Amino acid sequence: MNILLIATTNPGKLLEIKQFLSDLPIELVGLEDVGITENVEETGKTFEENAVLKATYYAKKSGLLTLADDGGFEIDVLHGEPGVKSHRWIDSNRESTDEELIAFTFERLKDVPEGKRGAQLRLVLALVAPNGDLLATAEEKIHGIIPLTPATVRHAGFPYRSILFLPELGKFYDHLTFTKEETEEYNHRKRALEKLKPMIKKYVGY
């Protein structure tokens, strides 16, 4: 059985990726499943650099076909902040909690009018062979607005989904409220994974 290592320490992200790749003829495992506990220092200046860095490290460490991603929140009026620093926006020395990040975002935008509160979630996926060769990358994003108050629902590990509102749907970017059709169209991680599926299938000979 072919194995794909999903290299993330975010439990919510791991579950979501497993769900979106469940139709592939391949065993999906996480870092804990293969006994890897090390974190990779994300020194890249872009999402793509960090995704490739993580996927390459864990592929060589595990000897497995490896998928990693990096992404974050980009606020238009703040010229793309926090970007690659999305989880270390407040303090570069530690990852802030979801609630800290939500509160900090609204503090930064307290004087910004409703018409200028555009923002997007963007991510890059990297697929790396067991020997460390980069096979493919894929990028997707979803743009919306930051309303004056956040959603009441929270999803651990996804703070910015509670503050990104999609006007065309009349919903926050909350995967639990999406219909199947809305997930297909609006979930940026699913769309990025769909781009990589042909490469994964080709690699495992399916």
- pLDDT category at 147 given cuts 50, 70, 90 is very high
Q: Looking at residue 198, what is its pLDDT?
A: 96
- pLDDT category at 204 given cuts 50, 70, 90 is confident
Q: Looking at residue 205, what is its pLDDT?
A: 81
SS3 47: helix
Average pLDDT score, the chain: 95
Q: Looking at residue 1, what is its pLDDT?
A: 63
Backbone angles phi, psi at 125, to 5 degrees: -105, 145
What pTM was estimated for this model as a whole?
A: 0.92
The CATH T-level fold of domain 3-204 is: Maf protein (3.90.950)
In order, the DSSP letters of 100-133 are HHHHHHHHHTTT--GGG-EEEEEEEEEEE-TTS-
More confident residue, 118 or 25: 118
Domain boundaries, the chain: 3-204
Given the residues 23, 70, 111, 174, select the one marked as catalytic: 70
70 catalytic? Reply is yes
